[in-house]
Amino acid sequence: MAEETSPWVTKTSREVYRNNWIRVREDQVIRPDGGPGVYGVIEIKPSVGVVALDEQDRTVLVGQWRYTVDRYSWEIPRGGSFPHETDIQKVAERELAEEAGVTAKTWQHLGAVDVCNGVADDVQSLFLATGLSPTSRNLDPEEEIEVRWVPFSEAVQMALDGRITEVCSVAALLRVALLRSGGKQ
């Protein structure tokens, strides 16, 4: 089977749920084995994650209670786009300011990661932001976010030892660590 050729055939698709952040659809499909099946897909607007490093080699982490996993989570600033937003770096700039109260002069795109690609089409673009300056925060009504600055090496250790478990945060921190060590992405 060639990587470019999908073994799936979508017969029909219907929306089963929608809100401001996600759309859930149910597809009637022909599976790769030729049999009929049902596939549920969560559609999510393009999203971003930002590793922001200051002059003291600290990175900003944001902490909040995550309803879905019923626990507190430390993460890099992250968030989704709005339908009118087409420049993904501008989304990253907005999210960094809103959640962490920081703007950046220099931006480096670190690539993208597929988030839970067995059930969701969520693609998160990752960025490194430097040349930081403070700005006012502007949290969404459902956000109650704590901001913490930690040494970058500690944030990487947190990603390695399980204190940071959110996948985009882990991926972004490790990508930056690899870049800084002279490795290639």
Q: State the CATH number of the domain containing residue 114.
A: 3.90.79.10
Tell me how far apart the alpha carbons of residues 121 and 44 are, in angstroms, rounded to a whole number.
Answer: 6
Q: What local confidence, expressed as pLDDT, does residue 33 receive?
A: 96
Domain holding 18, by residue range, is 9-43
Q: 109-165 pLDDT, tens per residue?
A: 999 999 999 999 999 999 999 999 999 888 777 778 999 999 999 999 999 999 999
**Model confidence at 2: pLDDT above 70:** no
Count of domains observed in the chain: 2
Residues 37 and 89 in one domain: no
> Taking the model in full, what pTM does it have?
0.91
Do both 38 and 51 map to the same domain? no
The answer as to whether 3 is a domain residue is: no
The answer as to whether 185 is a domain residue is: no
pLDDT in tens, 57-79: 999 999 999 999 999 999 999 99
Q: How far is CA 62 from the centre of its chain?
A: 13
First vs last C-alpha separation in the chain: 27
